[in-house]
Structure 1
Amino acid sequence: MNPIKSNVLMAALLCSTSLFAQEIEDKKGIVAKNAELVKVQDGFSFTEGPAVNRFGDVYFTDQPNNRIHKWNAISNEVSVWREDAGRSNGMYFKLDGTLVAAADNKNELWAFDTDGNHEVWITAFKGKKLNGPNDLWVRPRGGLYFTDPLYPRPYWERSKESEQDGQNVYYLSDDKTQLFTVAEDLVQPNGIVGTPDSKYLYVSDIGAKKTYKYEIREDGYLINKELFCEMGSDGMTIDDRGNLYLTGDGVTVFDKKGNQIAHIPVPAGWTANVVFAALDRKTLFITASDAVYTLQMKTRGVW
């Protein structure tokens, strides 16, 4: 969910009308010719967690209203898929169709089947409640990573804000028997995504306004941390060229070397997350405050 303070959000909202006049900056031709940002639907409270299934449909959350919505890639229609969704935030599909969600209500990790039934995968770490799982990425080779920043919620019932020693990144093995920390030196980890070959993981430290790149070991541990760019991000995604898409002030795109190559302005106070959608994965689906948007691309997303 939106990590920025209310006064910062207000300032962003006041200037958001100017975003309508801004043009897309695209140095490498990643956006489709003559493409324009299209508002699919508004009227939400705060949209987050877009996850694409194998048909190209996108499931996303309206986190304050505790719902998961589904965008149909063919009809372009949005429907309510699940009420009482554990206040899900970031989400990601496994190859078998399981939708894994960072369920913020009780600081858990949930998994939904195709009918919307859920089971709880994680309730704590070493017997202590997590801060609040925020975003996640499922490794194609098995296992998943998730970030656990601390954004206190008014609906939490706990004796103190945090039971954990820090705001960390975790790895959960594919059989769910192993859960361990893989990054403990970040200020406030948030957005996270890996490469389709499972070799590298990108983690945004939004608290430090930086994004880092790690090498992934076979056992799930991370090594060789390096600074990727001087920008934090809420959610993020990656395309088939290895470009990284960061969010916050619209969508900012960096090539695999960390050079900024594009900026997509979005008429919203905060852009929370982004994913490649539709069957050909050439539709950029953007969750931004009270609305969701699409933009046609030349690049495509990757499984």
Structure 2
Amino acid sequence: MKSVSATIAFIFVFHLFATNNSAFAGNGYHVADTGIVADGATPQLISRNFSFTEGPTADRQGNIYFTDQPNNKIWKYSTDGHLSVFMDSAGRSNGMYFDKKGNLYSCADERNQLWKIDSHKKITVLINDLNGKKLNGPNDLWVSPRGDVYFTDPYYQRSWWARTKPEITGEKVYVLLHGSRKVIPVVDTLQRPNGIAGTADGKYLYVSDLQGGKTYRYTIRKDGSLSNAQLFVNMGSDGMTTDSQGNVYLTGRGVTVFNKKGVQIAHIPIPEGWTANLTFGGKNRNKLFITASEAVYMLDMKVRGIE
């Protein structure tokens, strides 16, 4: 999530995307008939009783959790359509992700921490600082099949922080290896890393440089480090997800979908000023849940998300 207080800066970035990316050009919004969206389906509004929604992720049952960061809450949207508050005083959670054991990982932006929340809502602080200095502000994350946690750490000034500048140098991507408490930088070449997602087999990691207007793909080595950085598409993204076919979904002005070769195959318009993030959920993992500013939407799909 970008800073709510930095709306003007985002509009500027948004304008650059609209100017330089065909996905945003003109008014020709469409959902290409590529077999990924259910026949006749359109995004359905679930609710708009929020300030800024982010961080959607699904548990193993398909229930979806997302954040309303300005109001410091994590919400749950169950598979039966019930919407409820999962957690108050949620650390100003931003990006979130469930691991295979049912733990909910959260970028707890209030104190620049990384949390693990178990099924009993017990919070474990996994990362509190980096060599005694605050992280910029963990933004989005992905947990690999073996339990390594990759997260982006851009600097977006928050109204709830006392500090007004970074304590560390650079905006990077880090990994917290499974069973370790040591944070390791794995990407330090991006202007402002933001959205992040990996493939179901754990072989590749996608990272968006929102400010740079690009998304990259990296090979994940056996030791958890990254190699073979490749430009995937000339488009940045606030959040992202992948499906079982290897397609990559980027956000911003609606949802833009690329196949694994980086070819755009669809654009899904969302009737909001900014689309922040998305995930697959539902009992069959075939519903695309979209957080878009003050609202959340659901779209029936033909493809399934990864588990």
Q: Which of 188, 192, 200 is 1:196 aligned to?
A: 200
Deviations 1:241-263 (A, max 9, x none): 11000001010000101011101
What is the CA–CA distance in structure 2 between the aligned matches of 1:234 and 1:300, rounded to whole Å?
21
* 1:125–1:263 CA distance, 2 compared to 1 (3 A): same
What is the CA–CA distance in structure 1 between the aligned matches of 2:260 and 2:101, rounded to whole Å?
29
1:204-283 to structure 2, matched below 5 A, reads: 204-283=208-287
What is the CA–CA distance in structure 2 between the aligned matches of 1:8 and 1:267, rounded to whole Å?
21
What is the CA–CA distance in structure 1 between the aligned matches of 2:268 and 2:32, rounded to whole Å?
8
Q: TM-score, normalised by structure 2?
A: 0.92
Question: 2:58: which partner in 1?
Answer: 52
What is the CA–CA distance in structure 1 between the aligned matches of 2:197 and 2:291, rounded to whole Å?
16
Deviations 1:168-203 (A, max 9, x none): 000001113331000011100000001111110000
Question: 2:110: which partner in 1?
Answer: 105
Contact 2:2–2:156 at 8 Å: present in 1 too? no
Q: Which of 146, 149, 159 is 1:144 aligned to?
A: 149
Question: 1:2: which partner in 2?
Answer: 2
What is the CA–CA distance in structure 1 between the aligned matches of 2:75 and 2:88, rounded to whole Å?
9
Contact 2:126–2:181 at 8 Å: present in 1 too? no
What is the CA–CA distance in structure 1 between the aligned matches of 2:205 and 2:3, rounded to whole Å?
21
Deviates more, 1:61-70 or 1:124-133: 124-133
Q: Which of 34, 38, 56 is 2:40 aligned to?
A: 34
State the aligned residue count: 293
What is the CA–CA distance in structure 2 between the aligned matches of 1:212 and 1:35, rounded to whole Å?
30
What is the CA–CA distance in structure 1 between the aligned matches of 2:84 and 2:211, rounded to whole Å?
34
Residue identity opposite 1:124 in structure 2:
D
Deviations 1:79-105 (A, max 9, x none): 001000000000000111110000000
1:139-178 to structure 2, matched below 5 A, reads: 139-158=144-163, 160-178=164-182
- 1:85 matched to 2:90? The reply is yes
Question: 1:70: which partner in 2?
Answer: 76
What is the CA–CA distance in structure 1 between the aligned matches of 2:299 and 2:7, rounded to whole Å?
28
Question: 1:25: which partner in 2?
Answer: 31
Deviation of 1:23 (Å): 5.5
Q: State the secondary structure of the residue aligned to 2:8.
A: helix
Contact 1:172–1:178 at 8 Å: present in 2 too? yes
What is the CA–CA distance in structure 2 between the aligned matches of 1:230 and 1:248, rounded to whole Å?
13
Residue identity opposite 1:133 in structure 2:
P
Deviation of 1:9 (Å): 6.1
What is the CA–CA distance in structure 2 between the aligned matches of 1:130 and 1:7, rounded to whole Å?
24
Residue identity opposite 2:206 in structure 1:
Y
Contact 1:9–1:270 at 8 Å: present in 2 too? no
What stretches of structure 1 of length at least 5 have no aligned partner? 13-20
Contact 1:89–1:135 at 8 Å: present in 2 too? yes
Contact 1:2–1:270 at 8 Å: present in 2 too? no
Of all paired residues, the percent bearing the same amino acid is 52
What is the CA–CA distance in structure 2 between the aligned matches of 1:141 and 1:112, rounded to whole Å?
18
Contact 1:189–1:205 at 8 Å: present in 2 too? yes
What is the CA–CA distance in structure 2 between the aligned matches of 1:69 and 1:22, rounded to whole Å?
34
Deviation of 1:3 (Å): 4.9
Q: TM-score, normalised by structure 1?
A: 0.93
What is the CA–CA distance in structure 2 between the aligned matches of 1:130 and 1:27, rounded to whole Å?
43
- 1:122 matched to 2:154? The reply is no
What is the CA–CA distance in structure 2 between the aligned matches of 1:176 and 1:69, rounded to whole Å?
29
Residue identity opposite 2:254 in structure 1:
G
What is the CA–CA distance in structure 2 between the aligned matches of 1:266 and 1:72, rounded to whole Å?
22
What is the CA–CA distance in structure 2 between the aligned matches of 1:70 and 1:109, rounded to whole Å?
20
